[in-house]
């Protein structure tokens, strides 16, 4: 049989009556957040590249990214403050900071617009084929060493393909007339100690290859 007391709580009640109130005087005093408190998402809009990773990863779909208009919008009345978009952003331009969205009479979205990206500068390799005399008129693919620059601006590294495929592609693009000497004309491989610098800009460390292969590579590149 446990003990039974009448008014067991009296001592605590009296203690509470005469001690400081436990109430946080909220509207009169501002809130003090702990450092890690999760409130809302903020973006450094200049770093955003409109890749939409955040919009795709958001569990509620609160983020909308418009690539054409270069805007990033968030519906704060839909945001969980979970932080998944912060983890997924490749540029790390999203931050989860303390502070909540104040209650409103209607739901609304907040939108940010980023500055338009600078136009891409003309790539250096495409200048050289003009010097080598191959057709560089708009609408035709150009070849520089092992890199083919297509009419739509995309580049393709031919060294990744086997020899027959390479010949096929060059024929298709009408570049098979470009002979090997062109490669020599402006894009020759250079050897610096153990590092070979290829015409497409890539470097290769010969010390990583076995002995037998090193000879083959140097012969192929015409460095021996």
Partner 1 sequence: MEEREKKRSVVPFGPQHPVLPEPIHLDLVLEDEKVVDVIPSIGFIHRGLEDLVKKRDFNEYVYVAERTCGICSFGHGLGYVEAVEKCMNVEVPIRAKYLRTIWSEMARIHSHLLWAGLMADAFGFENLFYQCWRLREKNLDLVEMTTGGRLIYSVNKVGGVLKDITPDMQKVILNNLSELEAELRDVYKTFMTDYSVQERTRGVGVLTKEQVHDLGCCGPYARASGVARDIRQLGYEAYGELDFEPVVSNDGDNYARCDVRLREVFQSIDLIRQAIAKIPNGELSVPVKGNPDGEAFIRIEQPRGEAIYYVEGNGTKFLNRFRLRTPTFANIPGMCETMKGCSYADIPLLVVTIDPCISCTER
Partner 2 sequence: MGKVKRSPWLLHYDASSCNGCDIEVLACMTPVYDVERFGVVNTADPMQADILLVTGGVNSQSAEVVKQLYDQMARPKVVVAVGICACTGGVFKDCYNINGGVDTVIPVDVYVPGCAARPESIIDGVVKAVQIFQERSDAHDKYVKEHGESERDLSDPDAAAREGNPADFFDAITKTSEGSRDKEAEKK
Is residue 182 at the binding interface for partner 2, with CB under 8 A as the rule? Answer: no
Count Cβ neighbours within 10 Å for each residue of 133-170 and write b for 16 or more, e otherwise. Answer: ebebeeeebbbbbbbbbeeeeeeeebeeeeeeebeebb
CB of 5 to partner 1, least distance (A): 5
CB atoms within 10 A of CB 30: 7
Is residue 60 at the binding interface for partner 2, with CB under 8 A as the rule? Answer: yes
Indicate the pairing of strand 195-197 with strand 203-205: antiparallel
The partner in contact with residue 36, picked from partner 2, partner 1, none with C-beta cut-offs of 5 to 8 angstroms by kind, is: partner 1
Cβ contact 46:115 at 8 Å? yes
Is residue 4 at the binding interface for partner 1, with CB under 8 A as the rule? Answer: yes
Indicate the pairing of strand 190-192 with strand 195-197: antiparallel
Contacts to partner 1 from residues 101-130, by CB under 8 A: none
C-alpha–C-alpha distance, residues 224 and 124, integer Å: 28
Stretch that binds partner 1, among 1-9, 141-149, 161-169, 203-211 (CB under 8 A): 1-9
C-alpha–C-alpha distance, residues 55 and 74, integer Å: 9
Contacts to partner 2 from residues 95-154, by CB under 8 A: 100-107
Write the interaction track for partner 1 spanning residues 71-100; mark x where CB under 8 A is met and - where it is not.
Answer: ---------xxxxx-----------x----
Write the interaction track for partner 2 spanning residues 7-36; mark x where CB under 8 A is met and - where it is not.
Answer: --------------xxxx-xx---x-----
C-alpha–C-alpha distance, residues 36 and 74, integer Å: 21
CA distance to 26, 74, 141, 163, per residue, from 94 (Å): 29, 12, 39, 46
Q: Retrieve residue 197's tokens.
A: 């610098």
Stretch that binds partner 2, among 75-83, 135-143, 190-198, 199-207 (CB under 8 A): 75-83
For residues 60 and 213, which CB has a smaller minimum distance to partner 1 in the complex? 60
Is residue 77 at the binding interface for partner 2, with CB under 8 A as the rule? Answer: yes
Binding residues for partner 1 (CB under 8 A): 2-9, 11-13, 16, 22, 34-38, 57, 59, 80-84, 96
Binding residues for partner 2 (CB under 8 A): 21-24, 26-27, 31, 59-61, 75-82, 100-107
């Amino acid at each position: 049989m446990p003990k039974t007391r009448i008014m067991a709580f009296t001592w605590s009640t009296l203690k509470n009556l005469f001690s400081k109130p436990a109430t946080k005087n909220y509207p009169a005093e501002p809130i003090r957040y702990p450092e890690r408190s999760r409130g809302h998402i903020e973006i450094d809009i200049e770093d955003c590249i409109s890749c939409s990773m955040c919009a795709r990863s958001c569990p509620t779909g609160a983020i909308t990214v418009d690539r054409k208009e270069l805007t990033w919008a968030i519906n704060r009345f839909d945001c969980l403050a979970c932080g998944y978009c912060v983890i997924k952003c490749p540029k790390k331009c999203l931050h989860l900071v303390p502070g909540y969205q104040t209650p409103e009479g209607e739901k609304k979205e907040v939108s940010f617009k980023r500055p338009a990206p600078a136009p891409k500068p003309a790539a250096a390799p495409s200048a050289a084929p003009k010097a080598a005399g191959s057709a560089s008129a708009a609408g035709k693919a150009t070849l520089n060493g092992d890199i083919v620059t297509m009419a739509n601006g995309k580049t393709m590294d031919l060294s990744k393909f086997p020899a027959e495929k390479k010949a096929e592609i060059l024929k298709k693009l009408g570049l098979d007339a470009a002979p090997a000497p062109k490669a020599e004309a402006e894009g020759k491989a250079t050897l610096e100690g153990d590092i070979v610098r290829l015409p497409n800009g890539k470097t290769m460390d010969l010390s990583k290859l076995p002995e037998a292969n090193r000879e083959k590579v140097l012969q192929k590149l015409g460095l021996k």
